[in-house]
Amino acid sequence: MKIACIGAHQDDEMFCLGTLLKCIRRGDRIALICATNGDKGISDDPSVVYEDCARIRDGEIRAVARALKAEYRCLGEPDEALYDTWENRLKMIEAIRASQAELILTHFPQDYNLDHNITSDLVFQSSLLTQIASIRTPSPPLMKVPPIFYVDPGPGFGFEATHFVEIDASTVEEMMRIIALHESQNAVARRLLGHDLCE
């Protein structure tokens, strides 16, 4: 199966990383798609140049993609300034078509971050349009609209799970190794929260 994991930012695959690893083990092919360039991601340091931050985070997600043997695409929109526009729908349609997605994992529509919510909206609308041939993008239309599974944003957002994926200890170890590749985000978490994302 071809699975597209579509997030707003370059660490959002963490929300379903255990599921992705289990899918990879059974032979599924993964595409990671980010809607934004992550340029505001070193959030505790006002001296960081946006272009430098985007470059750092691009390198980190590409390392994650290599670890998962996944494709990576980015719509390139500014972090924290994502909007549901026709241009962005076309970008998302193309990204989904290019990945040949048969299943999509993305943000729950009522999340804690507006970029997450807009990404969820873009995915929902764009996925429906991936098989419409009159909407032209470089990749051909899909034969079937891929189903969407929303990932749990954490407590307090009204998320009700329909499916649960059991994660064993070896998968957790692999998750920690991959999460550590987001070095900039782990550093921010240590400075702001006193612990990194793995903890």
Full pLDDT tens readout for the chain, 199 residues: 999 999 999 999 999 999 999 999 999 999 999 999 999 999 999 999 999 999 999 999 999 999 999 999 999 999 999 999 999 999 999 999 999 999 999 999 999 999 999 999 999 999 999 999 999 999 999 999 999 999 999 888 999 999 999 999 999 999 999 999 999 999 999 999 999 998 8
E strand or H helix at 44: none
pTM: 0.96
Tell which residue, 121, 73, 68, has the closest CA to residue 96: 73
CB count in 10 Å sphere of residue 55: 14
Query: Would you say the C-alpha torsion 176, 182, 184, 188 has a positive or negative sign?
Result: negative
DSSP string, 5-16: EEESSTTGGGGG
